[in-house]
Structure 1
């Protein structure tokens, strides 16, 4: 297979991942030990996040004309890419937690639902709880007043029955 055709296969693979992705996070993972990288990949896989190292030129070609085109300006030096498909903040959250433990892991940039963030922006986004956590907090906040209201109504009804 000629070299250009091999490159096109990689570019098409990246384009396919981008077409399904809710977000893409770019990190510099130079200096991670094999053990650290293995643990990180396992956590990302469990969250349904694809994590792969691609050549910057291949990604630059793949992002042209997509909502991820803003990443091209951040593609210098070694880059690893985390493609999140379901929860847009999953990859950012896992990578942020890992970056606290692994000092050699650094955010470069990312795109979440069409918005391009630099390294600092990605750290801020990573602090946002996942969709499931936010929904459970919302439901919890609904449940508390309703259960209090239900108890008050029940007590009123019981008093009314006792007075009869």
Structure 2
């Protein structure tokens, strides 16, 4: 009788730890703007370490996660059935919290680093509840403008009418100066 209760006591902490890990993964998916699912098979520890450093620098969180944990964490999501074919084999997940394309940009740049970078495979991406394939992640998500680029475009758009307005206000004074300069040249020529 004591063996049975000892086994039950040992199993409970394991279940609690697994539930905590599932909740942690679910929380990451809840607060992310985009996620990229990666297959890192064949990569060396050195390359994975460089990839992790690039993710950290870009503000992206990367973690190797068991497929069953991701499936459990996302079982209530509308798109969970679309991830069944993705969550096979070795899976690393890169979560972007600020800029949706941040993780995809890091992966795209890393894959261009030569034969070692090409070993990193993009399984799929997740953005706004939609699952996109690896090609779309690399060609579309990775090319999305970042926040700073969007801010610069917005600022330029807002400034353009003001710059034109200032130029229109200055035009009469500038034309008057040109007229005076022409008259001065004409007077010197007589």
- TM-score bucket of the superposed structures, by smaller chain: 0.7 to 0.9
> For residues 119-138 of structure 1, what are the structure 2 equivalents within 5 Å?
119-124=134-139, 125-138=141-154
Measure how far apart 1:77 and its partner are.
Answer: 0.7
Gaps of 5+ in 1: none
Alignment match, 1:47? 58
**Corresponding residue number in structure 2 for 1:91:** 103
Larger Rg: 2
The answer to whether the Cα contact below 8 Å between 1:47 and 1:90 also exists between their aligned partners in 2 is yes
Aligned to 2:24: 13
Asked whether 1:100 is paired with 2:112, we answer yes
Q: Secondary structure at the match of 1:92?
A: helix
Is this contact kept in 2: 1:27–1:105, CA < 8 A?
yes
Q: Which residue of 2 aligns with 1:150?
A: 166
Give the superposition deviation at 1:145: 6.0
How large is the Cα RMSD of the aligned pairs? 2.4
TM-score (norm 1): 0.85
Taking the aligned partners of 1:162 and 1:80, their CA distance within structure 2 comes to: 67
- Once the two structures are superposed, residues 94-134 of structure 1 have per-residue CA deviations (whole angstroms, 9 ceiling, x without a partner) of 11111221111110001112221011111122122213213
Which residue matches 1:36?
47
Q: Name the stretch that deviates more: 28-37 or 72-81.
A: 28-37
- Cα deviation for residue 163 of structure 1 reads 6.5
Q: Which residue of 1 aligns with 2:4?
A: none
Normalising by structure 2, what TM-score? 0.75
**Is 1:115 matched with 2:130?**
yes
CA contact under 8 A between 1:51 and 1:81: conserved in structure 2?
yes
Count of aligned positions: 164
Gaps of 5+ in 2: 1-9, 181-190
Distance 1:147 1:67 in 2: 48
